Structure 1
Amino acid sequence: MKHNIFYTDFDTERITPEADGGYRTPFQQDRDRIIHSGAFRRLQSKTQVFISGEYDFYRTRLTHSIEVAQIGRSICNYLKATSPHLSDTYYIDPDLVEAACLAHDLGHPPFGHAGERTLHKLMRDYGGFEGNAQTLRVITQTIFSSTDTPKGMNPTRAFMDSTMKYKTLLHQTPDAKNHFLYDEQEPYLAFVFDGDLPSNHFSPGKALNEFRSIECQIMDWADDTAYSLMDIVDGIHARFITLESLENWAANASLNATEQKLLRQLMRVIREGDVEHVFARKIGDYISACQLEQWENYMSAKSNRYRFKLQIDKSVQTEARFFKKVAVELVFKSPQLHQLEYKWNFLLEKLFRAYSAHYLAGHGESFKLLPENTHRLVVQAATPAEKARIICDHIASMTDGFAIRTTRRLYDPDFGSIVDLI
């Protein structure tokens, strides 16, 4: 295989130097460490849209991440084959993009975005919670957590950056509901950008968060592709999106001409019973909608990862936005899902309150409510914020089912056994 000169030692550097990977590239090592981690396996039992395990054909965080990874690799292959800016010796590494796609949801807590919102509310006084920030925390600090002291996977600079969709620290936009990093993660930002933080060049918030490496941009569009298309497919299978519900929604939705056309096309696909086939084909359309545009910024001279912007065909972007709109209105805003979100919010609050009341009040020595290693780490933590962060790590790592069982063990007198795994 020809050497890829797109990347330099700057891109493959790790915080702690390691021996050469032998037959694997540094980015293949990053990917393999994700695949063989417990955090990745637990995605199989975390909610994507519908609660994990409810039916066997709905997507989970794991199947979603696998789909995103396939789309991300295909975008890399498409760009290498079609872009005049790339060649056989100068191209975006598909292993690096695959690693970013597989890792992009590692930080998501149980119960999807509803769980993310609840944990942020509960952690407001202790540094907040954000799914992308938690992903960075997992890969840099906690992914190997079965030992006495949790450790990160020592990712390469390029891989760490490829997962970092947001560069704004919480203190820079303190009222933000999402799209931030934890303040204590600033050293990782400094490592990624070799000390020259992007906040020195962009205003916090939208402008700063849109400053992304090309691999991160590809991961983000692959993610958009997967959920804008597949949330519709799952919504149709679950009978939230039907001909009748679409007609009723459209009657009051004030759709423009393009949206009305897309609505008619969607209804025809449902009527003909060809949903899976048509939407699978659309993935190819979304991949071939990508092209590269050269980009000059303060990092482009230091790394080729910042020399290009990913441009997406506007008609495809319009279609993706329409499908997201349909999913939000007919699935995410449905009474059925809101009832579940209410229950999930109640459940996570009870879990967090149980742990925080016990450990943050200084009574952690009396009962071990957490697993042995986690209990010890919380007791030894120096500040309430550090204790709360470790508790939050534990809850965020839970699968949907484990969160439900743990709540029942703590509160239901008729549930639980001394031999249960905790």
Structure 2
Amino acid sequence: MNNTFYTSFDTEFFGRGQDKKLKTRTPFEQDRDRIIYSPAFRRLQNKTQVFLSGEYDFYRTRLTHSIEVSQIGRSLCNHLNRSSTLLGPEYCIDQDLVESVCLAHDIGHPSFGHAGEAVFNTMMQENGAGGFEGNAQNLRILVDLFYRSGSEWSGMKPTRAFLDGMLKYKTLFRDSAKKKHHFLYDQQQEVVDFVSGPRPFREELATEEELNTFKSVECQIMDWADDIAYSIHDIGDGIQAGFITVKGVRRWQNEHEDSLNIQEARFVDELCAAMLEDTHSRFLGRLIGEFIRSTTLEERDNFMVAHTNRYRYAVVRDQGQCQRCELLKKMAIELVFHTPQVHQLEYKGGHILRDLFGAFVEEYVNKEKPDFCLLPPHYADAISRAGRAKRFRIICDYISGMTDGFVVRTYKRLFDPDFGSIIDLV
């Protein structure tokens, strides 16, 4: 089937990397397949989603979360293609493209969840190295770090449409007001300009808010799929872990009685009933279908429409379902994330990351020649050829790419006096 929704503008490749042969698979299928088989994607199996990975085998990790987001994304894509009169069999949103964007949406996320992201951002800013942001690191992996040959890295030659689907935010670090999150690295201006084509985003969109809310249809689908997945699944994991109980939910409901409308209060009652009957998994699972079926598509006009259909349409979320999604996220934050147990783990994770970063900076940035070989040879070689600012970025790439378990083992090798037998070193 020839899908006229996409043109050569959408399928153009960016950057250096392995060539793509177009004989048997579409460019978007190749983008998806390269993500699935990449080490960066596999490492997500041991990176924190809500609870530290490895605590129990049934909690979600970044990998299982990404797989769930991709499934919801494909379902949203199918629903819109079938239900919208704006689309048709030969003019439709590509499922493989949506799936690849969803699978890769957290590929640059560091260890220890958002707490780790905040710690890296602080350390990089303190050293004048341009901050750290999970979405920006996604882009850096795809464009710069996907393949390694010796001490040289290169990207995966992603398509324009795939890169654009990853751009939840288009503001550069230097233009970010708070520099806390929702920015790209300054060095990624070239990527943003490639994505936008002949009319650069920075010239057409005047404010930071406009830059960070102007998204392609695939990016909008991924964003909504991500919201659906973590709002529902964080609650589910919280219940399984014992953080969310009927008593705790009722207490939370009483504390927020004045701010909850009738529909929200009824929904909380239904959730408590499902928890009492031990049917909460089925109850939460049904919400996914309700969120998907309530999503529609509408046409819009903007400066990108002349180049691509990907900006011709807006994904419209039902207001009532959005309120329900936001309610679930608020409950998860206040009942799970804002607890001493989780904050203690985040504090410990931050402490570990700071100590590792400090040790590597001391050896490879502050000294003309390191006294100890703390980094793998290919990283040490890359650092030896880099300027000061780029050295911080390479160190950040190395640590942020580690799994939770690898971070902890490396920390123990460096700082734990009781760690170091032949078994520990393996």
TM-score by length of 2: 0.96
SS in 1 for 2:148: coil
- 1:282 paired residue number: 287
Structure 1: distance between partners of 2:150 and 2:28: 25
Determine which of 150, 155, 165 is the counterpart of 1:152. 155
- Confirm whether residue 211 of structure 1 aligns to residue 211 of structure 2: no
Q: Which amino acid aligns with 1:367?
A: F
Structure 2: distance between partners of 1:146 and 1:57: 36
CA-CA distance at 1:256 after TM superposition: 2.0
Deviations 1:259-313 (A, max 9, x none): 3222111111111111111111111111111111101111011100010000011
CA-CA distance at 1:65 after TM superposition: 0.3
- 1:110 paired residue number: 111
Determine which of 404, 413, 420 is the counterpart of 1:416. 420
Contact 2:44–2:107 (Cα < 8 Å) also in 1: yes
- Confirm whether residue 385 of structure 1 aligns to residue 389 of structure 2: yes
Determine which of 273, 276, 300 is the counterpart of 1:268. 273
Structure 2: distance between partners of 1:83 and 1:150: 42
Query: How do 1:110-189 residues align onto structure 2 when only pairs under 5 Å count?
Result: 110-124=111-125, 125-145=128-148, 147-189=150-192
Query: How do 1:3-402 residues align onto structure 2 when only pairs under 5 Å count?
Result: 3-16=2-15, 18=19, 20-124=21-125, 125-145=128-148, 147-253=150-256, 254-257=258-261, 258-382=263-387, 384-402=388-406
Q: For residues 200 and 421 of structure 1, do their structure 2 counterparts lie closer, same or farther at Cα, with a shift above 3 Å needed? A: farther
CA-CA distance at 1:356 after TM superposition: 1.0
SS in 2 for 1:191: helix
Structure 2: distance between partners of 1:231 and 1:13: 37
Structure 2: distance between partners of 1:343 and 1:224: 27
RMSD: 1.5
Deviations 1:385-415 (A, max 9, x none): 1000000000110100100111111111321
Q: For residues 417 and 26 of structure 1, do their structure 2 counterparts lie closer, same or farther at Cα, with a shift above 3 Å needed? A: farther
Structure 2: distance between partners of 1:234 and 1:31: 28
Contact 2:131–2:179 (Cα < 8 Å) also in 1: no
Q: Which amino acid aligns with 1:105?
A: D
Structure 2: distance between partners of 1:205 and 1:85: 30
Contact 2:169–2:183 (Cα < 8 Å) also in 1: yes
Aligned residues: 420
SS in 2 for 1:340: helix
CA-CA distance at 1:214 after TM superposition: 0.3
Q: Which amino acid aligns with 2:418?
A: D
Structure 1: distance between partners of 2:369 and 2:291: 52
Deviations 1:320-353 (A, max 9, x none): 0000010010001011111111111111110111
SS in 1 for 2:314: strand
CA-CA distance at 1:153 after TM superposition: 0.4
SS in 2 for 1:342: helix
Q: Runs of 5+ in structure 2 lacking a partner?
A: none
CA-CA distance at 1:205 after TM superposition: 2.2
CA-CA distance at 1:49 after TM superposition: 0.3
Structure 2: distance between partners of 1:148 and 1:263: 54
Structure 2: distance between partners of 1:272 and 1:418: 50
Structure 1: distance between partners of 2:363 and 2:266: 57
Q: How many percent identity over aligned positions?
A: 49
SS in 2 for 1:89: coil
Q: Runs of 5+ in structure 1 lacking a partner?
A: none
CA-CA distance at 1:173 after TM superposition: 1.4
TM-score by length of 1: 0.96
- Indicate the larger mover: 161-170 or 242-251: 242-251
Structure 2: distance between partners of 1:149 and 1:31: 23
- Indicate the larger mover: 309-318 or 252-261: 252-261
Structure 2: distance between partners of 1:162 and 1:139: 12
SS in 1 for 2:296: strand
Contact 1:172–1:204 (Cα < 8 Å) also in 2: no
Structure 2: distance between partners of 1:287 and 1:310: 11
Q: For residues 418 and 184 of structure 1, do their structure 2 counterparts lie closer, same or farther at Cα, with a shift above 3 Å needed? A: farther
CA-CA distance at 1:420 after TM superposition: 7.1
Q: For residues 19 and 118 of structure 1, do their structure 2 counterparts lie closer, same or farther at Cα, with a shift above 3 Å needed? A: closer
Structure 2: distance between partners of 1:298 and 1:388: 38
CA-CA distance at 1:251 after TM superposition: 2.2
SS in 2 for 1:309: strand
